[in-house]
Amino acid sequence: MNPLPPPLPGPLPVPVLDPRARDVVPDYEGMHALVADLVLPAGASMYVMSTMETSRELIRHSYYRYEFATVAVTHSLFALEHVLTERLALRKPLQDLIEQATDTGLIPAELTARIDRGQRLREELAQGAITSAAYSPLEAIEMVRAVFDTVSLLLRPPPAAEAKAGTAIDTGAAAQPEDRLTRLWAEHRRALYPDSFRGVDIEGVELILLDADVAGLVHTELNGGLDDNGIALLWACIADLDKIAPLINSEYCASYFAKLRTMAQVAATRHIPTAI
């Protein structure tokens, strides 16, 4: 783990407006409205959510550094490539994945045309044909929006699965606590901790320590079981998670800690006596 650098003395300096972005919006507040419709898709993995949220924030902060807009486009394509690789069960270059998804009807031609521009941008940057200042925030947001729309479409369940879900029992909720906890633990171990929240304290709760405490307790539960003290500590962690959850202002971080709370709850529930 890379430790955080020591804090700077005094308040951080306010970023200076990049003059090239002066005509995009009247002020920085306008950037919030510009990216407001870039909503992270439901059902995305932690990797995809992190990548897409970073892309959105790069556009927001292109108000201060113009090049961030172009970088946002190239970064968003990592999420698209990841989702296509999983959906098609293939490892190919992004352009080949896009073509196959279009040929099989996973992506409509209209969306393909929109994301093609971003794909060409990535190739031109790699070849040195253009620089990171090639696109304005307004141009970049249209390409990033195309990626958001495509990923959301790819993550949507097929119609048959949606119909089945309407009549079937939620297997995640109905599964045995032991099986569900094992699955949640495996997902948690694959998830990336939100780097921007290392060393962050909310309402007296240091997030990375809370994460480590819950992980340690769940690991103990899966390998022999918690004693009374461990159970009490786990419930205390759940109380802390409930306290910080409404105060987290990052979608990725909020999702990470929501899943952490679910895992902690499932582990703690195993020690609640069942009614006779």
DSSP annotation of 202: E
Q: How many helices (H) and strands (E) does the chain have?
A: 12, 2
Dihedral of CA 254/255/260/262: which sign? positive
pLDDT recorded at residue 167: 42
Segment (H or E) for 114: helix 109-127
Residue 80, pLDDT above cutoff 50: yes
pLDDT recorded at residue 34: 87
Tens of pLDDT, residues 107-149: 988 889 889 888 888 889 989 999 999 889 999 999 999 999 9
- What is the distance between the alpha carbons of residues 264 and 273, in angstroms, rounded to a whole number? 17
Residue scoring higher pLDDT (11 or 234): 234
Q: What are phi and psi of 205, to 5 degrees?
A: -110, 120
Tens of pLDDT, residues 7-37: 666 676 778 899 998 888 888 888 988 888 8
* Stretch among 95-104, 150-159, 244-253 having the lowest mean pLDDT: 150-159
Q: What CA–CA distances, in Å, run from 4 to 15, 135, 202? A: 21, 32, 17
